[in-house]
Amino acid sequence: MSPEIQAWNEQLAILRRNLVDSLSEDELRTLCLDMGVDYDSLPAEGKSGKVQELVARLERRKSIPEFIEICRRSHPDIVWPSVPPSPQEATTLGDQPELVSIHESPVVGPAEARAEASDASEPPSAYEPDERAQVTRRYRWLALPIGLLIVLVALVLYTRPFSRQSPLEAGRAALERGDVATAIRELEQVTHVDPQQVEARVLLGQAYEKANRPDDAIGQYQAALSLQSPDPQVGFRLGTLLVASGKPVEAAAPLAAAVKLNAGMAVSYTREISAAVTAGLAASSDLVSKDPQQAAQILGAITTLDARNVRSRVLLGNLYVSGGQSQLAIEQYQAALALDSNNTSAMANLGVAYYQMGKLDDAVAQFQSALQQAPDDAETHYLLGAAFIQQNKVDQALSEFQAAIKSNPNLAAAYVGLGNTQLLQNDLDGAVTSLNKAVQLAPSQPEAQYALGRALMLKGDRAGALQPLQRFLTLNPPANRRAEVEEWLKQLGQ
């Protein structure tokens, strides 16, 4: 084996080893795409076999140097082999056989032979054609076929750009005739060159579906939606794939987007929509306190998918209330009550939204309506008592807090409300008793510690007030209350 061939084979071995050990199959597909090769159609099994076949094919095409340069640009962190001349290129000009001029063995025609035979010693005439003219005359019969060949090649090159389909058109046509591999190859080329091409991503998603590559299809449909595809089918297909992949919660948003574009098509996807709604409700209930923003997105999608779903509207209203968006909460609660006029949660929480907006009469009316449906609901009694306190209706507030405690003796907030009401009535002993019970039930509730410390100070028990007030400062209280308690502690010598 010559040194040139041995060096060439060593560099190919390094190239194959780099491709197998350092690159993923997706990265190999991208490199193949740059070289116009379909990685998945390479006639070999496994990554190593396909790399072997790829390198062999590029070697036959004399494309190894170009391929190594592409590898070096795409993955500069990998040490790629140098590019020695191939064995075919290693032959120097000095080794080539000597070319023989056509003039060294001229072809002599009959007329010239007769002229030479008649008088070999006669000097040539001044009008006799020179050697170049003789060669031109002998080979001029080639002019016509060469000219026709040039015209034909020109016509082919001129017409080819107009007859060649674009990759997008070729991919669409391949998909229509069932040639999935070709469709994927052409459409991947389009998305590689123009990632913003929505139609190519939609068609590529369909091709991946046909190739049983659901994860890749999901990725393409998600990209199409992020580019605001106007095709409702994209959202429905994405939702269907997500449900089938065990991700019904994630399916809610694309399905909702599709319904907004074409509500009539939802009839064909009732099973997927039902699965998304059920899973979304369960997930959002857990996310309300952990991730309110994500819960709101899920519930918003559910109200689009199922406008008559009362529970989703109540939960969404609760999120708006906790975020201080009282008007949006009111709209959701009113929509829920329009669907179910006896829904006590919607009634009571609508009262909370009115309370936040300072509409105390409306709040009281909603709490009282809720208690007509559920007279033993402790939290509603507590909320009504709080509204009465704001209206300076102390006796009515006291009655509601007592009713709340009767319905639920472990409701700490009701004891806080009762204790504060007793302070307003100057019942200091009763207030201290109620607030001690609140702290016992909820030692980490800042409001209970604050109220107890305040009641003990008013009673004159300065030593007893220290512990709840100091505990209050450790519970991340509001800034205004913190400053107030710190001032109290200074007065107590702390």
Q: For 57-70, write each residue's pLDDT tens digit.
A: 998 888 899 999 99
* Weakest mean pLDDT among 150-154, 230-234, 252-256, 355-359: 150-154
How far apart are the C-alpha atoms of 408 and 470, rounded to whole Å?
29
Q: What is the pLDDT of residue 133?
A: 53
How far apart are the C-alpha atoms of 166 and 159, rounded to whole Å?
14
How far apart are the C-alpha atoms of 257 and 239, rounded to whole Å?
10
Name the residue among 279, 278, 255 with its Cα closest to residue 267: 255
**417-445 confidence digits (pLDDT tens):** 999 999 999 999 999 999 999 999 999 99
**117-173 confidence digits (pLDDT tens):** 444 444 444 444 455 555 555 556 666 777 777 877 766 555 544 446 799 999 999
Percent of the chain whose pLDDT exceeds 90: 48
> How many helices (H) does the chain have, and how many strands (E)?
26, 0
Q: How confident is the model at residue 80 (pLDDT cuts 50, 70, 90)?
A: confident
- Whether pLDDT at 84 is above 80: no
- Whether pLDDT at 361 is above 70: yes
Give CA separation, 173 vs 88, 186, 493, in Å: 41, 10, 87
The DSSP string of 60-98 is HTT-HHHHHHHHHHH-TTS-PPP-PPPTTTT--GGGSPP
- Whether pLDDT at 254 is above 60: yes
- Whether pLDDT at 200 is above 50: yes
To which residue do tokens 């400053």 refer? 483
Calculate mean pLDDT across residues 112-118: 43
Give CA separation, 144 vs 53, 102, 332, in Å: 44, 21, 86
CB 412 within 8 A of CB 378: no
**16-47 confidence digits (pLDDT tens):** 888 988 899 888 998 888 888 888 888 888 88
**What mean pLDDT value characterizes the chain?**
84
CB 449 within 8 A of CB 412: no
- Whether pLDDT at 284 is above 90: no
More confident residue, 304 or 115: 304
- Whether pLDDT at 95 is above 60: no
How far apart are the C-alpha atoms of 46 and 399, rounded to whole Å?
78
* Weakest mean pLDDT among 290-299, 332-341, 483-492: 290-299
CB 132 within 8 A of CB 101: no
Q: What is the pLDDT of residue 482?
A: 92
To which residue do tokens 């389909």 refer? 165
Q: What is the pLDDT of residue 157?
A: 57
Name the residue among 241, 297, 291 with its Cα closest to residue 269: 241
Name the residue among 164, 163, 219, 227 with its Cα closest to residue 194: 227
In the chain, the N- to C-terminal Cα span, in Å, equals 95
Calculate mean pLDDT across residues 228-240: 88
Percent of the chain whose pLDDT exceeds 70: 85
Q: What is the pLDDT of residue 321?
A: 87
Q: How confident is the model at residue 372 (pLDDT cuts 50, 70, 90)?
A: very high
